[in-house]
Amino acid sequence: MIDEVEDRRNQSHYNRRVNIYKQQQQHLPLEPYTHTYTVCTADLNHFVDPTNTSMALAFDEYGRPFIILREQESKSRLRGIDAQKANIAAGVAVSRILRTSLGPKGMDKMLQSPDGDITITNDGATILEQMDVDNQIGKLMVELSRSQDYEIGDGTTGVVVMAGALLEQAEKLLERGIHPIRVAEGFEISSRIAVDHLEKIAHKFDFSATNIEPLVQTCMTTLSSKIVNRCKRSLAEIAVKSVMAVADLERKDVNLDLIKVEGKVGGKLEDTELIYGIIVDKDMSHPQMPKQIEDAKIAILTCPFEPPKPKTKHKVDIDTVEKFQTLRKQEQKYFDDMVQKCKDVGATLVICQWGFDDEANHLLMHRNLPAVRWVGGVELELIAIATGGRIVPRFQELTPEKLGKAGLVREKAFGTTKDRMLYIEHCANSKAVTVFIRGGNKMMIEETKRSIHDALCVARNLIRNNSIVYGGGAAEISCSIAVEAAADKYPGVEQYAIRAFADALDSVPMALAENSGLSPIETLSAVKAQQIKENNHCCGIDCNDTGTNDMREQNVFETLIGKQQQILLATQVVKMILKIDDVISPSEY
C-alpha cells in the first residue's frame, strides 16, 4: 500500500503533499491507523484524476487524514472559475434553444414527451418545462421562465434569452479577471437603471369598456409570435372581450379563473368563439331528457342522488320480514323525496357533482327535470358564479334563492362521433365566460390554448397597470442606450459590468432581427443610431417587413410590467448563477 503511494510520488504535482504525508507518517505509530490508511489511499487514487485538483482531504494537527465529504470518490466536483464557466455554458445552451423562438418570425419546437405525446409550441415556458433538463443550471433557467409565466404570463422566451445574453457577457468579464461578485453588482445597478428608464419611456394609454382597441393591439403583439397569428385579430378581440367581461375595473383586478378555455378538435381556427356563459363537456344524464331549456333555474348540487352514506360505520340489520319491507319503502321514499325537493323549489335543471342511481335518474326524467351528472368541481364553481346560484351540499338546504338562472341551456353535438357539450348561456351574472377553441388537430388546440392564455394575461396586466412600452426590441434598445450612458458615471470595476449589461440588452433585438432574416448587426446599429439621432424611443426592428421601424405606427406594444419583470428576473437569476463557485453532484453509477 505504501509502495503504491511511493510509486506515484514522482508522477505529478501531488508529490509535495504525498511527501508531507510520508514525513508525517514517520512520526506516527503505524498499528492503530491501518484503517485510516485505506481511506487515505482511496483518496489518493482519486487525486490522480486531473479534474479533481484540490480535494476535501484534510489533515488534523497530528497529520491524520480525515474526510470532509462522504463517499468522495463517487462525486464529481467543480470549483472556482471552472464551476462558473460550466454553469454559464449550461445557461447559455438553454437560452440558445429558445433564441430562435423569439419574435413574430420565431420558429416552433417539437417536443416528444416520455409517453410519446407530441407538443409543438412556441411558448418558452412550455418548451422548457417539457424539455427534460437534467443540468442544475438548466433547471434554474426553467424556473426562471416559469416564474415569468406565473407572474406575467407572457415574455417567457424573452426572459430566458435575456438571461442567456447576460451570462455570455459575464463570461467575458470573468475571463478578464473581474470578480464574479463585482460583475453581479454591476448587473444589479444596471438593471435598476434600465427599469427606471422603462418607467420614463412608458406611455399611459387610455381604454375604457367601450374603447378596447388599444388592448386588442397589445394582445395582437403577443399573438403574432404564435402559430395562431393567422387570425390574431379575432383571437385578440376574444381575449380582450373576455377579460373585460370579468374585469373589476374599479379595483383594477381580473380573476382569470373566471375565464374558462375549452377546446375541441375539428372545425377550423376561425370558428373559435367567445361564449358569455359556460361550456361543460357533459351531456344530460338520461338520453331522453330535453336538449334545450329556456330560462333555466339551476339547482347546483354536490350531493349524489343516492342513498346517504354516513361516514361513521354502522350496520342496519335485517332480521325480520317487516324490517326488510320498511327498509325497502324507505329507500323508495328517499329517492322520491330527493327529486321532489328539487322540484319543489322550482328548479328546471339539476347539475350534480356526483352520479345518479338508475332509479333516481328515471324519476328525474319522469318528473321532467333534466339533470347533468359528474360535473367537475371547478366547472361547478364557475356555473355557480355565472348563474348567480349557490352550491348546495344537501337536499334539505335547497331553497328557491339558491337556484342559479340561465337564459338558455342547450346540448350541442359535434362531428360524426358521439360528442356532445352542454352550453349554459345568457346567465344572470355574465361574469364568467368561456373561450371555445376549434382547430384542426390536438396539438393546434393545445398551442392555441397556450396562446390565448398569454393574451389573457397581457390584457389583465394592462388593466392592472395601463402603462406600455414599445415592442419589437425598441424598449431594449432604448434601455441599452440609457445604461450605456449611465455606465460612464460609475467609477470602479462595475463600470465594465454595466457596459456589458447594455450589450446584453442589445441581444434581444439582435435575436429578433436574426429570426426575421435581417442582418442583425447592421439592422441593430441602424436602429440604435436612429433612436439617438431622432431621440425617438419607438424605433424597433421591423420584423414583418412593413417598411417602417416606428413601433408606434406598427402598433406593436408590450406591457411595462412585463418588460420590467423580464429584466429584473433575468438579472436575479444571473446573479445567482455567478455566485456559485462550487458544484457538487453525485456522479452516475
Task: Assess 314 for contact with other proteins (CB under 8 A).
Answer: yes
Determine the longest span between alpha carbons in the chain, in angstroms. Answer: 101
- Cα(196)–Cα(483) distance, integer angstroms: 10
> What are the φ and ψ backbone dihedral angles of 230, each rounded to 5 degrees?
-55, -40
How are beta strands 259-265 and 433-439 bridged, if at all? parallel
Task: Return the axis-axis angle of helices 474-487 and 520-534, rounded to nearest 10°.
Answer: 70
Question: Residue 212 forms beta bridges with which residues?
Answer: none
Nearest distance from residue 288's CB to other proteins, in Å?
5
Q: Which of 22, 172, 252, 328 lies at the binding interface for other proteins (CB under 8 A)?
A: 328
Q: Which of 100, 119, 123, 523 is catalytic?
A: 123
Task: Assess 417 for contact with other proteins (CB under 8 A).
Answer: yes
Task: Assess 167 for contact with other proteins (CB under 8 A).
Answer: no
Is 157 an annotated catalytic residue?
Answer: yes
Helix (H, G, I), strand (E, B) or coil at 273: strand
Size of the chain, expressed as the number of residues it contains: 589
Is 358 an annotated catalytic residue?
Answer: no
User: 384: how many CB neighbours lie within 10 A of its CB?
Assistant: 21
Q: Which of 100, 157, 218, 272 is catalytic?
A: 157
Nearest distance from residue 88's CB to other proteins, in Å?
8
Contact stretch for other proteins (CB under 8 A) within 161-169, 178-186, 306-314, 390-398: 306-314
Nearest distance from residue 292's CB to other proteins, in Å?
14
Q: Which of 517, 535, 547, 589 lies at the binding interface for other proteins (CB under 8 A)?
A: 517
User: If binding means CB under 8 A, how many residues of this protein chain bind other proteins?
Assistant: 84
Residues 93-122 that bind other proteins (CB under 8 A): 93-94, 97, 100, 105, 107-116, 118, 120, 122
- Cα(36)–Cα(17) distance, integer angstroms: 17
Contact stretch for other proteins (CB under 8 A) within 143-151, 305-313, 429-437, 499-507: 305-313
Letter string b/e over residues 55-66, b meaning 16 or more CB atoms within 10 A of that residue's CB: bebeeeeeeebe
Task: Assess 440 for contact with other proteins (CB under 8 A).
Answer: yes
Contacts of 5 (CB under 8 A, 6+ apart): 18, 21, 22, 41, 44
Nearer Cβ to other proteins (71/319): 319
Is 123 an annotated catalytic residue?
Answer: yes
Give 37: exposed, middle or buried? Use CB within 10 Å, 0-12, 13-18, 19+: middle
Helix (H, G, I), strand (E, B) or coil at 485: helix
Residues 41-80 that bind other proteins (CB under 8 A): none
Task: Assess 130 for contact with other proteins (CB under 8 A).
Answer: yes
Q: Which of 327, 485, 521, 529 lies at the binding interface for other proteins (CB under 8 A)?
A: 327
Is 295 an annotated catalytic residue?
Answer: no
Contact stretch for other proteins (CB under 8 A) within 10-18, 89-97, 178-186, 398-406: 89-97
DSSP conformation class of 539: B
- Closest by CA to 563, choosing from 482, 505, 486, 514, is 505
Hey, what amino acid is at 422?
Answer: L
Task: Assess 269 for contact with other proteins (CB under 8 A).
Answer: yes
Contact stretch for other proteins (CB under 8 A) within 36-44, 91-99, 389-397, 475-483: 91-99
Residues 344-403 that bind other proteins (CB under 8 A): 357-359, 361-363, 365-366
Q: Which residues are catalytic?
A: 123, 156-157, 454
